[in-house]
Structure 1
Amino acid sequence: MEVIEAPKRHIKKRVMEVLDLVGLRSKANREPSQLSGGEQQRIAIARAIVNNPSVIIADEPTGNLDPETSWGIMQLLDEINFRGTTIVMATHNKDIVNTMRKRVIAIERGQIGFKNVFRNGWMSVASIMSIIVSLLILGVFMLLVLNVNSMANQVDSQVEISTYLELNVDENLRNTLEQEISAMPEVSEIRFVSKEEGLKEFRERLGASADNVLSGFDVDNNPLPETIEVEVIEPETVTFVAQKIEALNDKHPEKPIMKVNYGKETVEVLFKFTKLVRNIGFIFVGGLGLMSMFLISNTIRVTILARRREIGIMKLVGATNTFIRWPFFVEGALIGLIGSAITVAVLFFGYSRLMATIGQDVFMQMLNLIPLGDIWLLFGTLLIGLASLLALTLLASLTLQPSDGYAKSSISDIDQQIQQLESKAASAKKEQQKAASNKKEAQHYKNKTNAYLKVVMEQINVDQHLLDEHKKDKQLVVDKKAELDVQYAEAKSLYAQKKQRKAQLNEKEQEKQVLLASYDAKIEESEELTQEQEDVLMQIASKRSALLQEKNKLREQQAAAAAKAKAAAAARAAAAAKAPTKVSSNSSSSTSYSSGNGIFGMPVSGARVSSGFGPRIHPITGEVGLAKTAPGEGLLASVTGTAQQKNDLKKIETAMDLISSNYYKDVDRTKLIDGAINGMMESLGDPYSNYMGQETAAQFEESIEGSFTGIGAEVSSQDGNVVVVSPIKGSPAEKAGIRAKDMIMSVNGESLQGLELNKAVNKIRGPKGSEAKVQVKRAGSSELIEFVIVRADIDLETVYAHMEDNGVGVISITQFSLNTGDRFKEELAKLEKQNMKGLIIDVRNDPGGVLQVVIDIAEQFVPKGKVIVQVEDKNGKKEQSKSNGSGKSYPITVLMNKGSASASEILAGALQQSAGATLVGENSFGKGTVQTSYDKQMGDGSLLKITIAKWLTPNGDWIHEKGIKPDIAVNQPDYFSVAPINKEKLPLKYDSNSTDVKSAQTMLRGLDFKPDRVDGYYDQKTEEAVKAFQKQKGIQATGQIDEKTAESLEAALIERIANPQYDAQLKRAIENVSKDISSAVSKP
């Protein structure tokens, strides 16, 4: 036997292993004619094991073979059968068949049809369920259509013709008309209705309203005519009969018929409708019938295809078509009968229950359904016959086709496998030929490679020569480098000499300093204190002691004032205002705590830089008095200071002397001092610690007194930039569109970057009525935004209140000034007198203010004993301010945004964490530090403001540079923060693209003109929106945005922003308070 090997297939190895299995490896080289019959069978089985076919047709291993050989062959067949190959064997010996370990198909005619139903259990159940579902859907709709058709016939049969007779028609003529109408073949029945009967029937139909409608009508005064009611046999002929009755007037000269009425329009529509219902019903039932047949047929097909292997095997062993078909006839009939019987039973039960339900419901009795007995026998027979016939027909027609195909495919598979083996053998032979060809080609390439290597060696020799030349060049470079190193050494020597000369100069300078120091020492030794000087110092010490006693006296007065049931805030403010005045002439030091805006360090633009002036109120206790003077401050600094402090001061003084004497221009000593102080403050890296010169401090004093002139924006300094904390409510800055956290880059063309804050504020300020062209950089915008703001007097009214619907009061606080607490109490009392049920405190764009004021306001809502705010110094020591108030029973909501800073945040945190208030709006600014203002110590009207601590919420949270997160986050629409249109780039027109177009589109959308896009492209929709706006404002509708249109657009948008109706944050706050009010009312 010759085995044709294929690459990586190991065919020969596998063949030898199989020959070992069948015990014929020793006879592998013999011809088939040299083998016995049993050996040939085993060779065939070995081939089957190698090829693993789907089916093997084998003879019964008996006959001339000895029992041992027969049993061996059976074991091999069993092995193949176990591996998945179907063994088809013609045998009468069931014992042989039963030795097979896999499933064996045994066909016994007559019983298989019933057995298949149970043997193929799930497939039979699926077939029966498919028939049940299909017939159930078909049956339900058949019943529905039959009943609808019956009810349509009933409706049609109710149509009558009313023939109204003229008045005073004699009885003979009337009888003649009745006879003529009755003689018509289409008429089934007529009925005469006299005037009295007609009035009586009409009165019965009217029921309770008959007395009102028929008032004044009786037997003697009866307006109704005599009537002949006509019923027709076929409803469709009613129009024809009515025409024939009308034609009777032509036969009688008296014209006895007044009118023939049968509701022509209604009847025609009714007939069309009932006809349409019948047609649709029958079409629908027909479609469902076809669908049912399709579903059942597909189920039967699946059943047959699932057993096509068995059918194919029966065909292969010689079973006739009749033998194969008969069991499926029985199975199909049985499945159809079961499915249809179950369907009929379900429909019978359901229809019976429906009839019983209709019989119990008065309203449903109007649905006159067909009785069950009239339709059931015919309907059930139809369903059972349909299912059984369909199953029988499909099974009979489909039974043999899959088996024939399977038998053909099995033989075809075997032929195909043989062809594949032959093809593989041919391929292997070609591979061998190709290998020989490849060997020759490899030799050819080897010769070519040798020749190429010879050329490469020659090239290597050339490269070696070039390498030698390169080495020579490299040596030249090394020599050049040595020459440069010599030059570098010479330069280094010159540098060392220069350094030595510098050291000599430094030594001389040190000698000079030593000499100066010796002069200073001699001067100090000569400056002995005289008796007169000692007296002066004693007087100063005595005066200081008197001031301390006065301070203690003021503290006692404050304690007494607190014991008088918390006098009015105005009295406390007046007492506080007197304190600094009283001590200013005798004191060299006074301090004030500040937070953000006001006592907590409110930076201001255009009018205010800090709120550190005014009464000196302790942030925790509320005491009015002087801060302690630290060593080295005041008049005694030169006496009590340490040697190090003296050296530091001398260093500064020396620097100033050197600059004054050596600078090539004249120097203003005051500017040097201000610059030195500014430098020290900037070195802290704290935007809230700064120095204010005399002019800026005076401006701030002006703002504290209640009004000032400027643009009205709170600012601070951050990394050398002027940043808006918040615009003041109602100020020119707010009206122009300045927003919190805008960065002011320039004013009237002068850059503010890198300037000290007080100098930047001076540039922003100006006379009332003058214009300030302010360029700002806003987050989210790549271009600078320019505002033209007219400076004005800024009104510092800080409290506004009004009442909304449902008893919701709103109090807006623009900043916490000295009189804000009193104004808040006044407005709160007014709202409570109006039966306020809930309160909204609006601190949006409130930059902060006086700490004691915010504590006084918070005490009205925070229950007694709970913490309002905490202050922590650099040593970690904390002081708590606790409430002495009693709290409120109504719900409270605090409205805030990113312009709510410092004292606003203190109020929000206190009410949220200690009074249970809800915070609505945006994340706050995030200013959590405390400042002290020093003005008297400076002695010349200037002021220092220094951060000395940080403040914490009642829960101990430090919100610095983080802000307070609202409980309910609500952002205003985009148009609330849109940039104004740059007037220098006008007009804006169709097919342009810019950020100004984007701003205009945002404004138009905010004003409900719907440009369809806000990406900055001026398209046709934008042009149409501009025209619509121009028409509304009485501007020529050009569709282009000129200066007039831009100003009108911005003015309209500012008006809308100011309208509470469009304030999304306020609406949400009112909604939240209203909800809390409702919840409180609903609680017992």
Structure 2
Amino acid sequence: MKIFASQIARQRFAVICLLGAVLAGAAGFAGGVVWTRERHPILKEATFNNLSASYNEIMKEYLNGAEPKALIDGATEGMVKSLNDKYSKYLIGDNGEAYVQNYESEVVGIGIQLRQEDNAFIIDSVIKDSPAEKAGLKADDTLQAVEGTSIKGMELDKLIEQLRGEIGSKVSITVSRPEQTEPITVTMTRATIPVLTVTYEMKDDGIGYVVISRFAQKTADQFKDAIADLTKQGMKGLLLDVRSNPGGLLVPTITIADQLIPKGKTILQVVSKEEKSTQTYKSKQTVEWKLPIVVLTNRHSASAAEVLTAALKESAGATVVGETTYGKGVVQRFSQFKDLSVLSLTEAQWRTPKGNWINGKGVEPDVKVSLPDYTELTALPTGTIMKQGDYGDSVKTLQQMLKALGYDPAGAADGVYDEATKSAVIRFQKAEGIEPANGETADSTMNKLMEELQEKLKKEDYQEQKGSELLKGLIASITDSSASQSSTK
């Protein structure tokens, strides 16, 4: 240990130590500022001061008061909107959770599908093996109460929220049934209900018809199961319907492509910002697919539906029938925050296997086929009554529906609910047994109109008819080729 020689030496040492501490503190502070700015680049922007000052002023002086979270959420929402990108979005809280649930493979509930009709909520269908089916609920039962509280005047979203809940929890509902005078009350235990995004059926001549409504977490599994069942039934060709499919998750899309596209063939190319990198997805097929494929599209087939369509067309030789697809050739990645809010941001774009950009262009069909005009009509608003004297777009849609079904209002679809429109509605109501046949369009009439249009489309689905016709020809060609080879041997 050394000893200071004098008091002056001790003082000089103390001063040096003090200066060192100050300089170290200053360096640490400066380093902290630099680190903070590097970690939060927004702090480098001069206009960030405007945001901060505005926030402080609002919180301090705004007459009606403000919630900090609401202000910050609003700022984030506005920031994303400023991108002028229709696909990028910031969804706050429950809206973000609903966005994520849209891609999940199951929901927790009782297993019923509802329709709203004349201010009442009616069970449209009961899902097989669900708590509702086990409790004896049936289609056309009308909901009256949940947990003993009347649902009269309740919004559909609020009702769905009450029916859903945590797995294993119980819920009691009361329904009325057409053939019974007394209401029925049942208590059910909520369970996981699978969300089906794939439906299928075996058509004539060995055509396996598969519809993919969107691409969610379990879509690839559901598709695989559908193909396995159709194969057992003797499928000879696949008619794949992605009409009005809005897209969804890329992973299940790639998995389905792996099953249908020859191994090693390109499925798509994902190109990053400023084309700094390209990720090419190639098929990892394990079992060779040998059956012909026809894909049905319309102008509402978008995003992941276009990825699969283009891949099948360019890498698997599939025939595309219908209309040019929507043209969404960009990729969003979404992240969910602790408060359930979601940021969905456009971060890449994609090309078809042959390197074609489709954004704003779409995938062209090999065979163009259109559907009747009535298939583009929007749904009529539920929970309202349209009557003589009303006017607007909904009335115009009603007139177009009536005309398509052969109940012409005897005039142009001008959006005015006149005497001719009322008369056409009365004719339709009488023909369908809707009471009272008073010429007013309430939910019961609206729902029946939609049902009849769907039935009409089954007979006039020219895209499906053309797809089936082409597929039959391809199947026959393969059969003849096989027969020829056998006879040669």
TM-score exceeds 0.5: yes
Aligned pair 1:861/2:260, yes or no?
Answer: yes
Mapped contact 1:1003–1:1050 kept (Cα < 8 A) = no
Mapped contact 2:105–2:217 kept (Cα < 8 A) = no
Cα drift, residue 794 of structure 1: 9.5
Unmatched runs of 5 consecutive residues or more in structure 1: 1-522, 538-631, 711-729, 734-762, 771-792
Aligned pair 1:675/2:74, yes or no?
Answer: yes
- Tell me the distance in 2 between the aligned counterparts of 1:1022 and 1:692: 42
Opposite residue 893 of structure 1, the aligned amino acid is V
Cα drift, residue 921 of structure 1: 2.1
Q: Which residue of 1 aligns with 2:444?
A: 1047
Q: In structure 1, the residue corresponding to 2:160 is in which secondary structure?
A: coil
Opposite residue 768 of structure 1, the aligned amino acid is I
Aligned pair 1:931/2:332, yes or no?
Answer: yes
Q: In structure 2, the residue corresponding to 1:944 is in which secondary structure?
A: strand
Q: Which residue of 1 aligns with 2:174?
A: none
- Tell me the distance in 2 between the aligned counterparts of 1:1074 and 1:697: 45
Mapped contact 1:868–1:953 kept (Cα < 8 A) = yes
Q: Which residue of 1 aligns with 2:307?
A: 906
Deviations 1:393-452 (A, max 9, x none): xxxxxxxxxxxxxxxxxxxxxxxxxxxxxxxxxxxxxxxxxxxxxxxxxxxxxxxxxxxx
- Tell me the distance in 1 between the aligned counterparts of 2:372 and 2:193: 28
Residue of 1062, 1070, 1077 corresponding to 2:468: 1070
Mapped contact 1:864–1:882 kept (Cα < 8 A) = yes
Opposite residue 696 of structure 1, the aligned amino acid is N
Aligned pair 1:918/2:319, yes or no?
Answer: yes
Compared CA separation, residues 1055 and 524, structure 1 to 2 (3 A):
farther
Q: Which residue of 1 aligns with 2:56?
A: 657
Compared CA separation, residues 1012 and 700, structure 1 to 2 (3 A):
closer
- Which residues in structure 2 correspond to 1:719-738 (within 5 Å)? none
- Tell me the distance in 2 between the aligned counterparts of 1:1027 and 1:941: 49
Aligned pair 1:1016/2:413, yes or no?
Answer: yes
Cα drift, residue 814 of structure 1: 1.4
Mapped contact 2:425–2:441 kept (Cα < 8 A) = no
Cα drift, residue 924 of structure 1: 1.9
- Tell me the distance in 2 between the aligned counterparts of 1:653 and 1:994: 45
Opposite residue 954 of structure 1, the aligned amino acid is P
Compared CA separation, residues 851 and 996, structure 1 to 2 (3 A):
closer
- Tell me the distance in 2 between the aligned counterparts of 1:961 and 1:1005: 34
- Which residues in structure 2 correspond to 1:301-316 (within 5 Å)? none
Mapped contact 2:298–2:325 kept (Cα < 8 A) = yes
Deviations 1:859-890 (A, max 9, x none): 11111221101111123232211112265222
Q: Which residue of 2 aligns with 1:206?
A: none
Bigger helix fraction: 1
Matched-pair identity in %: 33
Cα drift, residue 703 of structure 1: 4.0
Q: In structure 1, the residue corresponding to 2:343 is in which secondary structure?
A: strand
Cα drift, residue 1066 of structure 1: 1.9
Compared CA separation, residues 731 and 952, structure 1 to 2 (3 A):
farther
Mapped contact 1:863–1:887 kept (Cα < 8 A) = yes
Deviations 1:232-271 (A, max 9, x none): xxxxxxxxxxxxxxxxxxxxxxxxxxxxxxxxxxxxxxxx
Opposite residue 80 of structure 2, the aligned amino acid is M
Opposite residue 1070 of structure 1, the aligned amino acid is S
Residue of 449, 454, 478 corresponding to 1:1057: 454
Cα drift, residue 1028 of structure 1: 5.5
Residue of 829, 839, 843 corresponding to 2:242: 843
Compared CA separation, residues 993 and 673, structure 1 to 2 (3 A):
closer
Residue of 84, 91, 107 corresponding to 1:692: 91
Mapped contact 1:996–1:1016 kept (Cα < 8 A) = no
- Tell me the distance in 1 between the aligned counterparts of 2:48 and 2:290: 59
- Which residues in structure 2 correspond to 1:568-583 (within 5 Å)? none
Q: In structure 2, the residue corresponding to 1:1043 is in which secondary structure?
A: coil
Q: In structure 2, the residue corresponding to 1:802 is in which secondary structure?
A: strand
Cα drift, residue 836 of structure 1: 0.7
Cα drift, residue 904 of structure 1: 0.7
Cα drift, residue 999 of structure 1: 4.3
- Tell me the distance in 1 between the aligned counterparts of 2:114 and 2:313: 30
- Which residues in structure 2 correspond to 1:108-257 (within 5 Å)? none
Residue of 895, 898, 919 corresponding to 2:296: 895
- Tell me the distance in 2 between the aligned counterparts of 1:1053 and 1:940: 39
Mapped contact 2:246–2:304 kept (Cα < 8 A) = yes
- Which residues in structure 2 correspond to 1:79-90 (within 5 Å)? none
Aligned pair 1:767/2:166, yes or no?
Answer: no
Compared CA separation, residues 1015 and 524, structure 1 to 2 (3 A):
farther
Opposite residue 463 of structure 2, the aligned amino acid is Q
- Which residues in structure 2 correspond to 1:276-295 (within 5 Å)? none
Residue of 801, 804, 825 corresponding to 2:200: 801
Cα drift, residue 919 of structure 1: 1.5
- Which residues in structure 2 correspond to 1:598-747 (within 5 Å)? 637=36, 645=44, 652-707=51-106
Aligned pair 1:872/2:271, yes or no?
Answer: yes
Unmatched runs of 5 consecutive residues or more in structure 2: 1-21, 117-154, 163-191, 485-489
Please provide the CA RMSD for this pair: 4.2
Q: In structure 1, the residue corresponding to 2:159 is in which secondary structure?
A: coil
Mapped contact 2:37–2:44 kept (Cα < 8 A) = no
Tell which structure's C-alpha radius of gyration is larger: 1
Q: Which residue of 2 aligns with 1:883?
A: 283
- Tell me the distance in 1 between the aligned counterparts of 2:265 and 2:353: 8
Mapped contact 1:1006–1:1053 kept (Cα < 8 A) = no
- Tell me the distance in 1 between the aligned counterparts of 2:435 and 2:225: 50
Deviations 1:353-403 (A, max 9, x none): xxxxxxxxxxxxxxxxxxxxxxxxxxxxxxxxxxxxxxxxxxxxxxxxxxx
Compared CA separation, residues 809 and 665, structure 1 to 2 (3 A):
same
Mapped contact 1:868–1:881 kept (Cα < 8 A) = yes
Opposite residue 896 of structure 1, the aligned amino acid is T
- Tell me the distance in 2 between the aligned counterparts of 1:1023 and 1:661: 58
Deviations 1:450-487 (A, max 9, x none): xxxxxxxxxxxxxxxxxxxxxxxxxxxxxxxxxxxxxx
Q: In structure 1, the residue corresponding to 2:324 is in which secondary structure?
A: coil
Bigger relative CO (Cα 8 Å, ≥ 6 apart)? 2
- Tell me the distance in 1 between the aligned counterparts of 2:422 and 2:40: 75
Q: In structure 1, the residue corresponding to 2:158 is in which secondary structure?
A: coil
Cα drift, residue 642 of structure 1: 7.3
Q: In structure 2, the residue corresponding to 1:699 is in which secondary structure?
A: helix
Aligned pair 1:1081/2:448, yes or no?
Answer: no
Mapped contact 1:845–1:897 kept (Cα < 8 A) = yes
Compared CA separation, residues 1024 and 809, structure 1 to 2 (3 A):
same
> How many residues are paired up?
382
Q: Which residue of 2 aligns with 1:94?
A: none
Opposite residue 96 of structure 2, the aligned amino acid is A
Compared CA separation, residues 526 and 900, structure 1 to 2 (3 A):
same
Mapped contact 2:76–2:90 kept (Cα < 8 A) = yes
Mapped contact 1:922–1:971 kept (Cα < 8 A) = yes
Q: Which residue of 1 aligns with 2:401?
A: 1003
Compared CA separation, residues 664 and 706, structure 1 to 2 (3 A):
same
Opposite residue 440 of structure 2, the aligned amino acid is D
- Tell me the distance in 1 between the aligned counterparts of 2:391 and 2:91: 45
Mapped contact 2:269–2:350 kept (Cα < 8 A) = yes
Aligned pair 1:813/2:212, yes or no?
Answer: yes
Deviations 1:681-702 (A, max 9, x none): 1121112222233333333444
Q: Which residue of 1 aligns with 2:139?
A: none
Normalised to the residue count of structure 1, the TM-score between the two structures is: 0.32
Cα drift, residue 835 of structure 1: 1.4
Deviations 1:37-78 (A, max 9, x none): xxxxxxxxxxxxxxxxxxxxxxxxxxxxxxxxxxxxxxxxxx
Cα drift, residue 655 of structure 1: 4.3
